[in-house]
Amino acid sequence: MASFAIKVIRHALAGVSVISPEAAGRLAFKLFSVTPGRKPKSAKERAALAAAVPVIAKGKPVTLSYAGGWVMARHFTSPRNAANAKRVLLVHGWGSRSDYLAAMIEGMVAGGAEVVTLDWPGHGASPGRTLTMPAAVRAIDAAWRHFGGFDVSVGHSFGGASLACAAGGVVCDVPSHVAKKLVLIGAPSEMTWLFKGFGKVLRLSSKTQRAFEAVVERLSGRRLEDFDAAKILEVRAVPTLIIHAEDDKEVSAEHARRYAAAGPNVELHWANGYGHRRIVSAVPVIDRINAFVHGEDRKAAAAMRLEKSAVHLGSRT
């Protein structure tokens, strides 16, 4: 049953639509882009934020500017401080913040990676109360320019889709940024379903729905249909690990299957039982990501050890 607020918004948009479907569409997009409040909504969330404080404090804060705003990043160096440490861009989902990825930050840094996190506009330590996919792509571009690129990009939910869209260069005035590897966790595979779902909830007329979706093209220079992360992976062919839970109630497992069908460059790993949110702090998930991030290096190191062992044995015979 729809809430009272939803019913009021439906009536208001319907009234505006009678006069101007375009104005109603623009208003719907503004509502669509408003981010949730930053205050934790439960004791569990408060506890998670408190536990994240010592982890987040280890990251160096970096302000990243882009056309239209700025975001807060944090830079976590590898404890080994190795020159060849993998540099990872790690981004959270809608309504979240980097603090909720504390377990993953800690696990990846301990695994030997240099990690950079972003708080999206309207989230965490970044300013604002709205977020759009074009703004997220611009924030990724700002991080890319400041840090000189990334070996691996890891994103949860909206963050994963944003990384794929950044790789696809779907914002016309922003260059594509393709990491050597991608990890997408509980991520939607395309944006159209979100817009259709939002329009259905608000009972937008067909004309208002078209106007609502058309705002994306005005902001990015691309149609809504172009924000298709699965098709981007098919074209870019970047090695990608998809991690999803079949019990995810926020982003259907069908999105993971759609990613997996993109090509042989995509590997699907089911993390069933962790849902949509607990998945980012699950130890088996973090271990799987570390294995993917460092897989080639570890294989090469193992081969080198075997080679040295063979040489040593040969010298004794």
Q: Which are the contacts of 249, defined by CB distance < 8 A and separation ≥ 6?
A: 275, 276
Q: What is the mean pLDDT of the chain?
A: 93
Task: List the structure tokens of 86.
Answer: 């993998």
pLDDT of residue 295: 87
Task: List the structure tokens of 84.
Answer: 């060849």
What distance in Å separates the CA atoms of residue 251 and residue 254, rounded to the nearest whole number? 8
What digits encode the pLDDT tens for the residues 179-191? 999 999 999 999 9
Query: 173: helix, coil or strand?
Result: coil
Pair 31, 38: CB distance under 8 Å: no
Pair 217, 223: CB distance under 8 Å: yes
- Asked which of 56-65, 122-131, 213-222, 303-312 is least confident by mean pLDDT, the reply is 303-312
According to DSSP, the β-strands at 152-156 and 114-119 are: unpaired
Pair 95, 123: CB distance under 8 Å: yes
**In this structure, which amino acid lies at residue 161?**
A
Whether residue 297 is predicted with pLDDT greater than 80 in this model: the reply is: no
Rounded to an integer, the average pLDDT of 59-74 is: 96
Least Cα distance to 90 among 174, 147, 175 occurs for 147
What digits encode the pLDDT tens for the residues 225-270? 999 999 999 999 999 999 999 999 999 999 999 999 999 999 999 9
Is the model more confident about 311 or about 261?
Answer: 261
Task: List the structure tokens of 15.
Answer: 């009234």
What digits encode the pLDDT tens for the residues 104-117? 999 999 999 999 99
Residues linked to residue 89 through DSSP beta bridges, in sequence order: 116, 153
pLDDT of residue 303: 44
pLDDT of residue 109: 96
What distance in Å separates the CA atoms of residue 227 and residue 171, rounded to the nearest whole number? 9
Rounded to an integer, the average pLDDT of 209-215 is: 98
The count of C-alpha atoms lying within 13 angstroms of the C-alpha of 255, restricted to the half-sphere facing its C-beta, is 28
Whether residue 83 is predicted with pLDDT greater than 70 in this model: the reply is: no
Radius of gyration of the chain (CA): 21
pLDDT of residue 68: 87
Least Cα distance to 176 among 139, 137, 146, 147 occurs for 137
Whether residue 304 is predicted with pLDDT greater than 50 in this model: the reply is: no
pLDDT of residue 307: 55
Length of the chain: 317
Alpha helices in 152-271 (DSSP H): 158-168, 192-202, 206-220, 229-236, 253-260
pLDDT of residue 302: 46
